[in-house]
Amino acid sequence: MKILLSGASGFVGSHLLGRLIEEGVAVVCIVRPGSDLSDRRGVPTYTHRGDIQALCRFAEQQRFDGVIHLASLFVSRHACEDVPDLINSNLLFSTTLLEAACRGNATWFMNTGTFWQHYRDEAYCPVNLYAATKQAFETVARYYLETTDINFVTLKLNDTFGPGDKRRKILSLWRDHGRSGIPLDMSGGEQLMDLCHIDDVVAAYVRLAHLLQERCPQIARGQSFAVRASERVTLRELAATFEKVTNVTLPINWGARPYSPREVMVPWTTGKIVPGWEPKVSLREGIERTFAAPMENTGG
Amino acid sequence: MKILLSGASGFVGSHLLGRLIEEGVAVVCIVRPGSDLSDRRGVPTYTHRGDIQALCRFAEQQRFDGVIHLASLFVSRHACEDVPDLINSNLLFSTTLLEAACRGNATWFMNTGTFWQHYRDEAYCPVNLYAATKQAFETVARYYLETTDINFVTLKLNDTFGPGDKRRKILSLWRDHGRSGIPLDMSGGEQLMDLCHIDDVVAAYVRLAHLLQERCPQIARGQSFAVRASERVTLRELAATFEKVTNVTLPINWGARPYSPREVMVPWTTGKIVPGWEPKVSLREGIERTFAAPMENTGG
């Protein structure tokens, strides 16, 4: 199996790349100029400088079986100057990659979406502009589904966590406040969390890649799958678990901040999961692996 | 009524601008650097050089009632190097304009779509990548419908014709071959044509602008409308009408070329029309006004 992978410098991408290499998959990473893949020396890279014709020629030469597309720009609440970056990353680059995949006769293209395309559990209702650009790429992809044989599918992620996560997210924020004792104002904390451990996330990608490669008839063209956590808990319950596992008391002032204007109280529930995959890492176990270990092992 | 208009240098836009000025509407045209509006001296223009923050500030200062968005890049069958241009024109610029409209508290935004978003009369099936980018902009617009009060609506066009059309389209091609007598190979000619005269197109925009301005409850947020012709005929029947009106015999070899891979044999039928509008110009009358007049009056 020969794969073109975007987003390998990110949290999910770096874990997935490690796993694909372990499995003996031939991977080429498509990176931006200056992107840091220095910890993965030896993996071939293609630096995309915006030249779509060059990328199409490269794809035609390389004959990839499939493309795994993880690269994305996430902006929670956009400012007006974020609009061009969101369109360029999530629509222009994504369409460029899909065009090249089709020109190179790749068999499949695995896209990455978000639960936030499904606010209030609707077939489509974007939480934010980021989620709207993710959906818009699926809209564009419909053209390629209609006019080529490529199997385009989308894995939709919600929250993810695990070792080596450099993003500023809730668990690392808690770790810092737990250590410093500095009080942390939070919302009411009743929103349900769907937090999937990185090992489960990676397993979903690998499983789906194999199913696509085998042209498994269960994987209909254009389908989406949810990468969901093994359990859903409220933010308050998550904090209680975190306190138990790490043996610290979190200095949280619950209810000191309002919920966000489009706070997701119940994450998307109706998405199907990848056939033959299920989340295996419990929250307790995942937090232990990530935060209870000595600092040197957290990979940050 | 104060309007920001994009695409005023195009065929539909130049006719619409003339009509809006006649009606006494205050219009500002948003143009690209170097865009030719020289025949409309006296109309204020805003030159957009890609700076979204500057455009948002301009929209906040100007307090437009509405935006009419006609600017677009049309590519019938794209080459890979067209992808960035299609995304930039039809998604990046469109989203930039909508963001600015919302920041400036415009009441409404009239978008322009295409019948080609509805291949085989489906709710969404793009004929080509151009149509997919049009649909993708509606996908993005859903975010603004969810999070602001703006009324975003789409007028969907199919073929349009009339005086002053510089685009290389079927009627002017026929005129040229009619004059030169050079044979013209065409397809079987059984595809139905929906060819709307520019006066009817302009009337649909003006009518919808008034309904939006009056906050007419019939115009639901997010709705689409079809701008359809007064009659549908096959391409062969159209040629026969053209021959009668212009009194020339067209040197067409019917069936000498295959139909296109995604030839539209029956244009979108299920779109609603703008309340209170209907197409009035018959094909015969429209062709007369455009082609039967002496050359000096065709506006070309």
- Contacts A56 to B, Cβ<8 Å: 80
pLDDT at residue number A295:
44
Instruction: Name the β-bridge partners of A192.
Output: A234
Model confidence over B181-198: pLDDT tens digits? 999 999 999 999 999 999
Residue that is written with structure tokens 């990110």 in the block: A10
Interface of A with B in 168-207 (CB under 8 A): none
pLDDT at residue number B38:
61
Model confidence over B274-283: pLDDT tens digits? 999 999 999 9
**Contact yes or no for A92 and B96 at CB 8 A:** no
Nearest chain A residue to B126 by CA: give it. A143
Nearest chain A residue to B118 by CA: give it. A143
What are the helix (H) ranges across B253-297? 283-287
Give A296's pLDDT tier (boundaries 50, 70, 90): very low
**Contact yes or no for B262 and A147 at CB 8 A:** yes
pLDDT at residue number A168:
87
Whether the CB of B145 is below 8 Å from some CB of chain A: the reply is no
Sign of dihedral through CA atoms A261, A265, A269, A274? positive
pLDDT at residue number A35:
83
Distances (CA, A) of A242 to A177, A227, B227: 12, 22, 59
- Contacts B149 to A, Cβ<8 Å: none
| Cβ atoms B174, B243 nearer than 8 A | no
- Of A50, A87, A261, nearest to B91 by CB-CB distance is A87
The count of residues in chain B is 300
pTM: 0.96
Which letter does DSSP use for residue A100 in this model? H
| Cβ atoms B46, B28 nearer than 8 A | yes
Task: List the single best residue of B51, B53, B60, B99 to mutate versus A (max A Cβ within 10 A).
Answer: B99
Nearest chain A residue to B77 by CA: give it. A147
Sign of dihedral through CA atoms A56, A57, A58, A59? positive
pLDDT at residue number B299:
40
Q: What percent of chain B lies above the pLDDT cut of 70?
A: 96
Single out the residue of A7, A80, A32 nearest to residue B54, CA to CA: A80
pLDDT at B300 over 50: no
Model confidence over A248-272: pLDDT tens digits? 999 999 999 999 999 999 999 999 9
**Contact yes or no for A80 and B92 at CB 8 A:** no
Model confidence over B83-142: pLDDT tens digits? 999 999 999 999 999 999 999 999 999 999 999 999 999 999 999 999 999 999 999 999
Whether the CB of A84 is below 8 Å from some CB of chain B: the reply is yes
